[in-house]
A = this chain, B = another copy of it.
Amino acid sequence: MNNNNTTLQKILDEGLHLIQKHGYNGFSYANIAESIGIKKASIHYYFPTKQELVQAVLQRYNKDFLNDLAQIDQKFKDPVDKLKSFFQLYRSALDNSSKLCLCTMMAAEITSFPEEIRTDVNRFFHDNEKWIENVLLQKKSADSSVNPDRIADQSRLVLAIAQGAQLLGRSSGELEQYDSIVNHFLANL
């Protein structure tokens, strides 16, 4: 049928969850093993090293996230609705077990990774920025208040807000902090 319940998928799911919760340096093979009811050695069968595991988790996450953004494009026409959905996407990690975006967490721990993985983290941010730029360009067509020269900067600002608000919202344990920051920004857009 589907392959969502294979050991491989369970390892990737639990690995993702643990990194989003506690960070790369904050989880171990033992944690995954206990959570999904297998032994540590079984994880090494799929991912000989921890870095290979985190890389697989990251690449799947990036692919899924880009897919989510593509679905937003399909679902909404209004660029402001798209932006709201973007912030909603970042909110969903927080809402679901107080997790951070995987790449927000990995950005904090960036010194722990080799260049290859750092590149994938930054690719995630770059892809986010490009998607936002497109949305802002659509907004520009409908609204002359957008300065065309500054769209790249505005796009990075949007991304920085999503990440900073997520970090503050989770630390305080108050989801409303995330909402108030995002809503304030959207209201003054």
A180 at the interface (CB under 8 A from B): yes
Chain B nearest CB, measured from A97 CB (Å): 11
Rounded to whole Å, the gap between the CB of A145 and the closest CB of chain B is 10
| Residues of the B chain whose Cβ atoms lie less than 8 Å from the Cβ of A185 | 157
A89-121 to B contact mask, C-beta < 8 Å, 1/0: 000000000101000110111111000001001
Q: How far is the CB of A179 from chain B (nearest CB, A)?
A: 10
Interface residue count on the A side (C-beta < 8 Å): 44
User: Which residues on the B side are within 8 Å of A22 (C-beta)?
Assistant: 25, 109, 111-112
With A122-B171, A183-B153 as given contacts, are A161 and B159 in contact (CB-CB < 8 Å)?
A: no
Please report the C-alpha to C-alpha distance between residue A22 and residue B111 in the assembled complex, in whole angstroms: 6
A180 to B149, CA, bound (A): 12
Interface residue from B25, B122, B167, B170 paired with A164 (Cβ < 8 Å): B167
Is there a chain B Cβ closer than 8 Å to A21's Cβ? yes
Contact A26 B168 (CB under 8 A): no
Question: Is A108 touching B181 in the complex (CB atoms < 8 A)?
Answer: no
**Contact A172 B108, beta carbon cutoff 8 Å:** no
A152-172 vs B: 1/0 string, CB under 8 Å? 111011011111110110111
The residues of B that contact A160 with a CB separation of less than 8 Å are 160-161, 163-165, 167-168, 181
Q: Which residues of A contact B (CB under 8 A)?
A: 21-23, 25-26, 98, 100, 104-105, 107-112, 118, 121-122, 125, 150, 152-154, 156-157, 159-165, 167-168, 170-172, 177, 180-181, 183-185, 187
